[in-house]
Amino acid sequence: MIYADITGWGKCAPPAILTNADLSTFLDTDDAWIVSRTGMKERRISHVPVSDLAHVACARALAAAGKSAGDVDLIIFGSCTFDQMVPNASSRVQQLLAADNAACIDLNTACTSGMYALSVATAMIKAGSVKNALVIGAEVTSVLMDWSDRDVAVLFGDGAAAFFLEVKEEKSGVVAESLGCFGKNRDILDVTGWGLKYANKGLVLGETKWNFNGQEIFKRAVVGMSRACDIVLEKEGLTYEEIDLVIPHQANLRIIDALAKRMGASEEKVYINIHRYGNISAATTPMALVEALEEGRVAPESKLLLPAFGGGLTWSAHLLHWGDRIKPIGTTDVDLPPCDKTGLQLVQEIIAAKK
C-alpha cells in the first residue's frame, strides 16, 4: 500500500505584531476581554502578499525534506485570500521557487483550506498521479478585514505554513480523514464584498462587511470537529487515549477547551499557539503542527489528530502517523524582505487606503 509521508515542514510568520493593546487604540475593546473570550494576545500582520509568505514557508519545507525546487511534482495552495484569481497563486509560488516541474492548484475551503489541501495531495500521491507535493496553508486576511468591526477584527492574523509530502510504502502521513460541510449554515459566516458576486453591483471589491454570528459558529465548530474526530478514530479502530497529541484549529481557546473536554484530553495532549497568532485561517492548523514539531511536542512514530473548521461551514479531522524523523534535514536562507513598520502602522495603512 502506498502512503504520502510528510518529510518536510516550514512556516512563515510575518514579523509585524499587532497586540490587543494596539487594537484598543482604534476599537472599543481591551486586552482583558480579548484574552478571556478568545485566548488571543497578539497576531501578525503581513507586509507582503500571501504568495510571498507561502514561498518562504515552502522553501523551508523543501530544505527540511532535503529536496530542491526542481524535484516538486505538485503544489496545492490552500487559502481564501489569494492575490489574484488569474493566474492562480500556486503558479506564483512555483515561479518564486523555480519549481518548474510542478503542477499548480489553488484550493479554497476557508479556514480548513490547508487541511483539505493535505487531503487532496495525499490522495493524488496514493493514486499515483504524482510522486510528491508541496501543500500550503497561507492567509493574509488583514487586507480584507473590516477594521471597524470589533466582533471580528480582533480574531484574525496573517501567516503561512507548508509541508512536503512524498511516496512511502510504510504506513505514514494521513492515514484517515473525515471531511464535511454544514452548507445549510453557510450564511452565519458570510463576507460581503469578497468575491465576484459583488462585481458590477456598485460595490468596491475588498470593501468587506463581515456577517459573523460568533456564537452559532462556536457551537457548530465544536459539533463539527468532534464528529469528524469520532469518525476518524472509528475508521482506524483507535480511542482518544491512543492519540499522542491533538493539534486543533485555533479559532478560540474556549472552542479548543470544549473540544478537549468532549475527548477527555488532558492539557498536555492538546497543542495551543492561539495566543501568538490568533486565527490565521488556512494557515492555522498547519502552523500549529509545524510549531509543535519545532517545540519537540511531536515524538517519532506518534499519532496526531488534527480537527479543523472554517467558513462554509467546512469541517475536517485528519489522523497522521508521524515518521521517525522530527528534525529538518536542512535549512535555507530564503526569507521575507525586512519590515520597518509595526503591525499597528500596517493596519492603519489598510484603513487609510479603504477611505
Nearest residue relative to ligand ACO (C-beta): 214
What character string, x for contact with ligand ACO (CB under 6 A) and - otherwise, covers 196-215?
Answer: ------------------xx
DSSP, collapsed to helix, strand or coil, labels residue 149 as coil
Q: How far apart are CA 19 and CA 27, in angstroms?
A: 12
Q: Where in 282-301 is the site for ligand ACO (CB under 6 A)?
A: none
341 binds ligand ACO (CB under 6 A): no
Stretch that binds ligand ACO, among 3-11, 29-37, 68-76, 171-179 (CB under 6 A): 29-37
Closest CA to 263 of 287, 283, 244: 244
| Rg, Å, the chain Cα set | 19
Residues 30-49 that bind ligand ACO (CB under 6 A): 33, 37-38
Which one of residues 15, 19, 26, 29 is an interface residue with ligand ACO (CB under 6 A)? 29
Our finding on whether 266 is near ligand ACO (CB under 6 A) is: no
**Residue 217 engages ligand ACO in binding (rule: CB under 6 A):** yes
Q: Does 126 help bind ligand ACO (rule: CB under 6 A)?
A: no
Residue 310 binds to ligand ACO (criterion: CB under 6 A): yes
**What are the grid coordinates assigned to 76, written together?**
496545492
Helices 113-126 & 284-294 angle (0-180, nearest 10): 80
211: its cell numbers: 456577517
Query: Catalytic: 111?
Result: yes
Q: Is 252 in the site for ligand ACO (CB under 6 A)?
A: yes
Q: Is the dihedral of CA 324, 327, 330, 335 positive or negative?
A: positive
Pairing, β 3-12 against β 159-168: antiparallel
Closest separation in Å from C-beta 262 to ligand ACO: 16
Q: CA 40, CA 29: separation in Å to the nearest integer?
A: 13
Backbone angles phi, psi at 260, to 5 degrees: -60, -40
Q: Could you confirm whether 249 is annotated as catalytic?
A: yes
Residues forming the active site: 111, 249, 279
What is the binding site for ligand ACO (CB under 6 A)?
29, 33, 37-38, 110-111, 150-151, 154-155, 189, 214-215, 217-218, 221, 251-252, 279, 281, 310-311
